[in-house]
């Protein structure tokens, strides 16, 4: 890949994906809020949905926060804490692997359910099918990058290039040369993640942003016992 292509891919495309995410989210919540729904197909099939959904959501939450920690915490900080690089990587590999396989198991169940169950398949939109396959692919790529590609390149340390590049995006000075040092599976995984991020607001995934946060921050509701009829009569 020449420098121009690398610059467009690693210095321009991430911001285009972010712009698409922000623009699409504003449009959906402003003019198409009524269409934001998980569109549950529980009535069509329940068992696989329940098991797959729990596995996927629990796994993907841990995967997400694992990615956040891996990107935001620089190597210098863990070195300052006295955490050896080998210990950090083993911990990340074990915990990330468990969370990744949990998300993969859930996504396999949900994908099999959507494609193999005729009733669920007929009720699915083209977007639903694409989202299912896209999430499955990106999870497989992530596990492959961590468990296969990483050991094949023992000299590679994502905290010295990939994580640095990701942090540089926050202050608008990404260095595409850093991503050219990253093994190919990791790069494909990042590109797929950016694509899902870009199309997030235009799919059913948007329902993840509709969590009822107001229930967490609202003032407590005080319930008062209703006076008994006998008590009313004695007054």
104 within some domain: yes
Segment 20-48 shows an average pLDDT of 74
**pLDDT bracket for residue 29 (50, 70, 90):** confident
Segment 83-91 shows an average pLDDT of 87
215 within some domain: no
219 within some domain: no
**pLDDT bracket for residue 30 (50, 70, 90):** confident
Q: Is residue 44's pLDDT more than 70? A: no
The DSSP line for 12-72 is IHHHHHHHHHHHHHHHHHHH-GGG------TTT--HHHHHHHHHHHHHHHHHHHHHHHHHH
153 is in an annotated binding site: no
57 is in an annotated binding site: yes
Q: Report how far apart, in Å, the C-alpha atoms of 18 and of each of 10, 15, 43, 170, 195 are.
A: 13, 5, 36, 11, 10
**Domain span holding position 187:** 3-32+46-209
* Residues ≥6 apart with Cβ < 8 Å to 45: 113, 117, 119, 120
177 is in an annotated binding site: no
Q: Is residue 224's pLDDT more than 80? A: no
- Contact in structure between 185 and 123 (CB atoms under 8 Å): no
Is the pTM here over 0.75, yes or no?
yes
220 within some domain: no
pLDDT at 16 (0 to 100): 98
What φ, ψ does residue 41 adopt, rounded to 5°?
-110, 30
Number of structural domains (the chain) is 1
227 within some domain: no
């Amino acid at each position: 890949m020449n420098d121009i292509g690398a610059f467009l891919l690693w210095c321009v495309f991430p911001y285009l994906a972010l712009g698409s995410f922000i623009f699409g989210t504003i449009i959906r919540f402003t003019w198409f809020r009524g269409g934001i729904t998980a569109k549950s197909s529980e009535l069509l099939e329940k068992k696989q949905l329940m098991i797959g959904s729990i596995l996927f959501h629990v796994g993907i939450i841990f995967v997400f926060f694992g990615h956040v920690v891996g990107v935001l915490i620089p190597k210098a900080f863990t070195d300052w804490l006295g955490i050896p690089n080998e210990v950090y990587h083993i911990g990340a590999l074990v915990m990330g692997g468990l969370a990744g396989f949990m998300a993969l198991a859930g996504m396999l169940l949900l994908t099999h359910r959507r494609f193999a169950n005729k009733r669920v398949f007929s009720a699915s939109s083209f977007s639903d099918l694409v989202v299912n396959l896209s999430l499955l692919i990106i999870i497989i790529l992530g596990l492959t990058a961590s468990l296969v590609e990483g050991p094949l390149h023992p000299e590679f340390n994502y905290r010295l290039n990939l994580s640095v590049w990701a942090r540089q995006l926050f202050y608008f000075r990404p260095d595409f040369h850093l991503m050219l040092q990253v093994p190919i599976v990791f790069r494909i995984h990042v590109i797929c993640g950016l694509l899902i991020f870009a199309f997030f607001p235009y799919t059913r995934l948007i329902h993840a942003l509709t969590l009822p946060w107001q229930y967490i921050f609202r003032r407590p509701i005080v319930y008062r016992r209703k006076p008994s009829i006998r008590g009313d009569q004695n007054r």
